[in-house]
């Protein structure tokens, strides 16, 4: 088949493309890198296919016996890619390729095709109650919050994609590597982009500052400056949007579709400095921060309190200090009981 007619599903079902995703320095890897460089219009489809082959993002590995793994892979390959003596009709071929794509996704999901698949990786972990600042090989700076983990391909070059995988919370200051005239993230070449894989989200930028908080049941992205392209991967397609500064975009198990709302981004990156620097900040913004960052249920006795503004410094990383400071500043009791925080006296 003419490679210029390839769709995403064709890339996924092509064994040489799978080998390229597994090892960019292999013979197949060198071929596909040269081909994509000569056919940049296919880069977006190839990137999406590579993400599917890698397993639709990080996930727990299943302990599959090696012999069973080998047998199942052989059987699957024989079923999907065995030569056939009769010509394929268009509808039949599409069905065959779709089966191949879904099989690739299933194999990836159970950990048989692992991520990241472009060579050795390095893992960076922040200890409990501590932050860790990293400078990546391209000059980008990442601040990991407590217990966060960042995985990156060890070898970075000017011609390979910049990709990292995040669990937990991190603040990114990404070095711009695209030509000054390139402003469209989707149209940029793969090496020019910086991509954070967090849960079911792929977060692509050219160079900017943003926060990602990837927890087991939800993932949030807050943009400080520039633009961010967010893609939510799903089994039968994807959803995407382009963020503007001040946007918070979220997906969760309860509500998978991407939602967007406006926030003060400085509040969401304040943990990197240890202090909330408030300047006529309405309490409603702080209440939303408590809900977003701690997953607390926040109740306010007097709705008028939400419009009260605060100016000054408050501790950002310790809720046991933040809540009493808010109580003193507002002049009302602030009580936390388990996952519920109450401002003022509420009738129960």
pLDDT digits (tens, 9 = 90+) for 120-151: 889 999 998 889 999 999 999 999 998 999 99
Distance CA 210, CA 32 (A): 32
Walk me through the domains of the chain, giving residue ranges and CATH numbers.
Answer: 3-109 (no CATH), 121-265 (2.60.120.1440), 274-343 (3.55.50.30)
Given a contact cutoff of 8 angstroms between Cβ atoms, the answer to whether 223 and 203 are in contact is no
Q: Which residues pair with 214 in a beta bridge?
A: 168, 219
Q: How far is CA 268 from CA 165, 237, 288, in A?
A: 20, 30, 10
Grade residue 183 by pLDDT with cuts at 50, 70 and 90: low
What pLDDT was estimated at residue 236?
A: 64
Q: Residue 119: pLDDT band by 50, 70, 90 thresholds?
A: low
d(CA 26, CA 23): 5
* pLDDT for 251 beyond 90: yes
Burial class of 12 by CB neighbour count within 10 A (0 to 12, 13 to 18, 19+): buried
The pLDDT of residue 209 is 95
Cis? peptide before 23, omega within 30° of 0: no
Q: What is the pLDDT of residue 52?
A: 77
Q: How many Cα neighbours within 13 Å face the side chain of 177?
A: 24
The pLDDT mean for the chain works out to: 80
Q: Taking residues 289-294, report their average pLDDT.
A: 86
Residues 177 and 180: their CA atoms lie apart, in Å, by 9
Phi, psi of 117 (to 5 degrees): -115, 30
The confidence score (pLDDT) of residue 118 equals: 54
The pLDDT, as a whole number, for residue 16 is: 86
Q: Supply the pLDDT for residue 216.
A: 87
**C-alpha torsion sign, points 135, 141, 147, 152:** negative
Q: Is the pLDDT of residue 234 over 90?
A: no
pLDDT for the residue 109? 44
pLDDT confidence band for 154 (50 / 70 / 90): confident
**pLDDT tens, position by position, 190-213:** 888 899 999 999 999 988 999 999
Q: Residue 34: its pLDDT value, please?
A: 87
Please name the residue ranges forming H helices in the chain. 8-13, 15-22, 27-38, 43-54, 66-81, 90-109, 265-268, 283-294, 319-330
3-class secondary-structure state, position 214: strand
Residue 110 has pLDDT above 60, yes or no: no
pLDDT tens figures, 34-68: 888 888 888 888 888 887 777 644 444 334 444 44
Percent pLDDT > 90 in the chain is: 34
pLDDT of residue 322: 87
Mean pLDDT of all residues in 322-327: 90
Taking each helix axis as running N to C, give the angle between helix 90-109 and helix 43-54, from 0 to 180 degrees, rounded to the nearest 10: 50
């Amino acid at each position: 088949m003419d490679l210029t007619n390839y769709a995403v599903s064709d890339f996924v079902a092509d064994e040489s493309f799978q080998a390229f995703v597994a090892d960019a320095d292999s013979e197949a890897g060198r071929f596909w890198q040269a081909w994509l460089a000569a056919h940049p219009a296919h880069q977006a489809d190839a990137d999406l296919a590579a993400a599917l082959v890698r397993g639709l993002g990080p996930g727990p590995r299943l302990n599959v016996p090696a012999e069973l793994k080998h047998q199942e892979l052989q059987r699957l390959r024989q079923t999907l890619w065995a030569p056939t003596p009769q010509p394929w009709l268009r509808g039949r071929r599409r069905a065959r390729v779709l089966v191949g794509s879904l099989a690739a996704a299933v194999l990836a999901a159970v950990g048989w095709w692992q991520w990241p698949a472009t060579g050795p990786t390095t893992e960076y972990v922040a200890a409990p109650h501590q932050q860790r600042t990293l400078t990546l090989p391209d000059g980008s700076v990442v601040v990991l919050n407590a217990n966060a983990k960042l995985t990156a391909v060890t070898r970075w070059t000017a011609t390979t994609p910049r990709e990292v995988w995040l669990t937990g919370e991190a603040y990114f200051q990404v070095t711009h590597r695209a030509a000054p005239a390139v402003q469209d993230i989707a149209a940029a070449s793969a090496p020019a982009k910086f991509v954070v894989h967090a849960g079911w989200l792929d977060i692509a930028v050219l160079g900017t500052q943003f926060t990602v908080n990837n927890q087991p049941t939800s993932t949030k992205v807050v943009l400080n400056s520039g633009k961010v392209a967010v893609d939510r991967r799903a089994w039968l397609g994807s959803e995407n949007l382009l963020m503007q500064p001040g946007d918070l975009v979220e997906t969760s198990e309860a509500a998978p579709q991407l939602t967007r709302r406006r926030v003060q981004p400085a509040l969401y990156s304040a943990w990197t400095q240890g202090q909330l620097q408030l300047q006529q900040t309405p309490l409603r913004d702080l209440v939303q921060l408590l809900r977003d960052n701690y997953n607390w249920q926040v109740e306010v006795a007097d709705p008028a309190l939400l419009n009260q503004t605060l100016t000054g410094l408050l501790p950002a990383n310790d809720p046991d200090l933040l809540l009493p400071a808010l109580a003193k500043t507002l002049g009302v009791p602030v009580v936390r009981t388990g996952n519920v925080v109450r401002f003022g006296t509420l009738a129960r």
